[in-house]
C-alpha cells in the first residue's frame, strides 16, 4: 500500500513540476497533445464562469465580471500547484513510514500533511521533526521546491503583466485611427486621402509587427487571452479582426505598395489567429450572420474613391469571400469561447471614440472629430 502511495506521490510531483515548467519557463509550441494540468484547469474553470456571465445582461456588468477571471485564475492556479505539491510530498512522507516525531501525538498521514505544508512554505516551526534519513531528505527537497516555486511565481507575474501592458498600448493607439470599437471601414475612411497613403502603409507595417508580438506573447502565456482590455468596447480579438478585415479589403481593392503591405500584414495576422485558436481550444465556427453586407461595402468603396483613394473599379466580392474564409471562422470560434464581440463593417458618423468621451461631460466639439 505504501509503495502505491510512493508511486502516486512521485507521479503527482512530476506532473505538477513539469506543468509549472511548461507554463512559466518553457516557450510554448502551438500543438500539445499530452495531458497538462493547466489545460484541464482552464477548461473546467472557464466554462462555469462563462455560463454565469451569460446570465448577466450584456454591458459593463458582464464585462466587469468576465475581467476578473484572468487574474483570479492565476491565483487559483498557483494555489492548485501548491496544494498538489504539498499533498504529493505528504504521500512520500507517508510511504516512507511517517517517521516523524511530535510529542504526545501518534504519527499519521495528517501529521505528514502538516509537516509537508510547513516545509513547503518554509515556516520552520520545528514542532514536527523528521527522524529517518529518508524523511529528512524529503523535507529538504520540499523546502527547496517551495522556495523555487515562490521565486518562479514572483518573476512570472511582471513578465506576464508586461506583455499585457504592451498589448494594450497598441490597442489604445488604434482608438483614434479606427474608432471605438475598431472597424476596418472606419480605419479605411480615416486614411482615405492620398496624403494619408504612406501613413496607412506604415500603420499596416506596425500592425504586422504587433500581430507577431501578439502571437508570440499569447502562445507563451495563453492566460493573456482571458485578460480583458480596460475599455469594454475594445479587445485584442477585435483589434486583430480589424487588421485582418482591412488587409483583406486592400488586397482585393488597393494597388501597388499599399496592396503589398496589406498582403504581408494579412499573412502574419492570419497566422496569429489560427495558432491562437489552437492554444485556447476553440475550433473554427461559421458565422451565423454576415459581417460583410454588400450595401455597406459598396458604400465604403464609394466613400473611399470620393476621398481620393486609388481602388479597383468595383468590389471583388468573390476574392474577398475567399480571404474571409481563411480567418473569419477562427475569429468567430474564439469570439464565442471568450465572449468577445467581433466588429462589423458598418460606418458610423456619430459614434464617439474613447478619447472623446469623459465621465464628467458627454459629447465633444465636432471640429475635433477625426
**Beta-bridge partners for 130:** 100
Q: What integer pLDDT is reported at residue 151 of this predicted model?
A: 87
> Does the reported pTM lie above 0.85?
no
Tens digit of each residue's pLDDT (9 = 90 or more) over 353-367 = 776 766 665 555 544
pLDDT at 293 over 80: no
pLDDT for the residue numbered 310:
80
Q: How far is CA 39 from CA 25, 33, 58, 280, in A?
A: 16, 11, 28, 9
Least confident of 23-32, 33-42, 280-289, 342-351: 23-32
Distance of alpha carbon 271 from alpha carbon 269, whole angstroms: 5
Q: How far is CA 83 from the centre of its chain?
A: 25
Cα separation of 23 and 1, whole Å? 33
Q: Which band of pLDDT confidence, cut at 50, 70 and 90, is reported for residue 34?
A: low
Domain boundaries along the sequence of the chain: 2-26+35-155, 174-368
* C-alpha closest to that of 9 among 88, 82, 86: 88
pLDDT at 66: 93
Of the candidates 340, 326, 288, 291, which has an alpha carbon nearest to the alpha carbon of residue 184? 291
Note the pLDDT of residue 336.
92
Q: In angstroms, rounded to a whole number, what is the distance separating the alpha carbons of residues 20 and 77?
A: 10
Q: For residues 293 and 225, which has the higher predicted lDDT (pLDDT)?
A: 225
Q: Which CATH code for domain 2-26+35-155?
A: 1.10.287.70
pLDDT tens by residue, 156-189 = 888 888 889 888 888 888 888 888 788 888 888 8
The whole-number pLDDT of residue 96 equals 80
Lowest mean pLDDT of 1-5, 218-222, 297-301, 338-342, name the range. Answer: 1-5
Q: What is the mean pLDDT of the chain?
A: 84
Cβ-contact 189, 304 below 8 angstroms = yes
CB under 8 Å to 48, separation ≥6 — which residues?
none
The helix or strand, by DSSP H or E, that contains position 101, with its residue range, turns out to be: strand 100-101
| CA dist., res. 237 & res. 140, Å (int) | 46
What was the pLDDT predicted at 175?
83
Name every residue whose Cβ is closer than 8 Å to that of residue 155 and which is 6 or more positions away in sequence.
Answer: none
State the pLDDT at residue 367: 47
pLDDT score of 269 more than 70: yes
Triad 311, 313, 318: Cα angle to 5°: 95
pLDDT at 351 over 80: no
pLDDT band at 94 (very low <50, low <70, confident <90, very high): confident
Q: What does the pLDDT look like over 205-264, one tens digit per residue? A: 999 999 999 998 888 888 899 999 888 778 999 999 999 999 999 998 887 788 899 999
Phi and psi at 38, nearest 5°, equal: -65, -40
Per-residue pLDDT at 327: 94
pLDDT higher for 107 or 19?
Answer: 19
Task: Rank 69-83, 290-304, 356-370 by mean pLDDT and report only the highest.
Answer: 69-83
Three-class DSSP category at 273: helix
By residue count, the chain amounts to 370
Amino acid at each position: 500500500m505504501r509503495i502505491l502511495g510512493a508511486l502516486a506521490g512521485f507521479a503527482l510531483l512530476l506532473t505538477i513540476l513539469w506543468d509549472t515548467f511548461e507554463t512559466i519557463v518553457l516557450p510554448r509550441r502551438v500543438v500539445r497533445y499530452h495531458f497538462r494540468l493547466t489545460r484541464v484547469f482552464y477548461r473546467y474553470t472557464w466554462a462555469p464562469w462563462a455560463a454565469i456571465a451569460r446570465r448577466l445582461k450584456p454591458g459593463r456588468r458582464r464585462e466587469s465580471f468576465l475581467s476578473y477571471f484572468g487574474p483570479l485564475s492565476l491565483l487559483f492556479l498557483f494555489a492548485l500547484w501548491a496544494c498538489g505539491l504539498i499533498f504529493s510530498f505528504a504521500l512520500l512522507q507517508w510511504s516512507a513510514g511517517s517517521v516523524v516525531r511530535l510529542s504526545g501525538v501518534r504519527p499519521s498521514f495528517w501529521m505528514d500533511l502538516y509537516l509537508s505544508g510547513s516545509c513547503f512554505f518554509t515556516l520552520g516551526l520545528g514542532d514536527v521533526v523528521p527522524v529517518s534519513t529518508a524523511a529528512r531528505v524529503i523535507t529538504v527537497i520540499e523546502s527547496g521546491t517551495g522556495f523555487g516555486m515562490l521565486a518562479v511565481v514572483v518573476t512570472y507575474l511582471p513578465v506576464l503583466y508586461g506583455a499585457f501592458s504592451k498589448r494594450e498600448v497598441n490597442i489604445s493607439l488604434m482608438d483614434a485611427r479606427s474608432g471605438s470599437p475598431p472597424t476596418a471601414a472606419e480605419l479605411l475612411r480615416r486614411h482615405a486621402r492620398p496624403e494619408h497613403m504612406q501613413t496607412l502603409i506604415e500603420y499596416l507595417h506596425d500592425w504586422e509587427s504587433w500581430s507577431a508580438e501578439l502571437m508570440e506573447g499569447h502562445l507563451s502565456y495563453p492566460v493573456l487571452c482571458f485578460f480583458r482590455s480596460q475599455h469594454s468596447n475594445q479587445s485584442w480579438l477585435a483589434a486583430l479582426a480589424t487588421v485582418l478585415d482591412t488587409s483583406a479589403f486592400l488586397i482585393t481593392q488597393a494597388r501597388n505598395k499599399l496592396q503589398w503591405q496589406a498582403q504581408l500584414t494579412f499573412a502574419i495576422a492570419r497566422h496569429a489567429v489560427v495558432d491562437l485558436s489552437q492554444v485556447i481550444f476553440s475550433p473554427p465556427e461559421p458565422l451565423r450572420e454576415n459581417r460583410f453586407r454588400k450595401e455597406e461595402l459598396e458604400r465604403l468603396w464609394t466613400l473611399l474613391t470620393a476621398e481620393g483613394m486609388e481602388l479597383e473599379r468595383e468590389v471583388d466580392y468573390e476574392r474577398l469571400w475567399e480571404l474571409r474564409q481563411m480567418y473569419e471562422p477562427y475569429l468567430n470560434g474564439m469570439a464565442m469561447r471568450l465572449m468577445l464581440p467581433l466588429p462589423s463593417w458598418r460606418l458610423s458618423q456619430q459614434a464617439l471614440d474613447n478619447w472623446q468621451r469623459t465621465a464628467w461631460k458627454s459629447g465633444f466639439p465636432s471640429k475635433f472629430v477625426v
